[in-house]
């Protein structure tokens, strides 16, 4: 089963309202910001990642706007914290998961709030969705998550940033 690392977001009314309408996975997958994408990791290097994260301070991000992607996703983008998230993404891949890094893919930090079958349905949802008010969040723990065969997500472990104990 595929595993990945992500910041799990606290429930936020504005985000959940959009997700419940446009993301069929909203009941199975909590709102999150993925840092290391799903792969079949034999070794998640949990102890090394835990040690690394003790030196990383929590990240303050600000979510703004709702936009679409070429693969028919609708997401909230970051106005603040983008550089820190990209730096953490690169550090984790280059230090621990280099064999899974795909240079063909550009990492854009975001929170997915909708999934669509077509460009037309994505466009209709974007037209019907107001921009969100800026949402500031403090991301202080990273989760190792497993995607089950049923599509649900199971948290295997949480890692606290800037501290040496699991979250």
* DSSP string computed for 88-109: HHHHHHHHH-GGG--TTS----
pLDDT digits (tens, 9 = 90+) for 84-117: 999 999 999 999 999 999 989 899 999 999 999 9
As a whole number of angstroms, the distance between CA 121 and CA 43 comes to 39
pLDDT digits (tens, 9 = 90+) for 141-161: 999 999 888 878 899 999 999
Q: How confident is the model at residue 166 (pLDDT cuts 50, 70, 90)?
A: low
Domains and CATH numbers, the chain: 3-160 (3.90.1140.10)
């Amino acid at each position: 089963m595929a595993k990945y690392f992500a910041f799990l977001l606290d429930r936020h009314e504005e985000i959940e309202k959009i997700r419940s309408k446009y993301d069929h996975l909203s009941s199975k997958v909590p709102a999150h910001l993925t840092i290391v994408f799903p792969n079949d990791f034999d070794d998640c290097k949990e102890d090394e990642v835990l040690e690394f994260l003790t030196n990383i301070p929590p990240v303050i991000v600000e979510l703004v706007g709702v936009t679409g992607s070429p693969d028919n996703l609708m997401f909230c983008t970051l106005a603040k914290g983008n550089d820190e998230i990209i730096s953490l993404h690169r550090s984790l891949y280059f230090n621990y998961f280099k064999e899974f890094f795909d240079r063909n893919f550009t990492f854009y930090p975001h929170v997915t709030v909708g999934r669509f079958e077509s460009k037309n349905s994505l466009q209709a949802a974007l037209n019907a969705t107001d921009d969100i008010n800026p949402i500031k969040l403090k991301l202080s723990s990273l989760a190792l998550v497993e995607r089950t065969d049923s599509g649900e997500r199971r948290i295997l472990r949480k890692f606290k940033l800037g501290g040496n104990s699991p979250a």
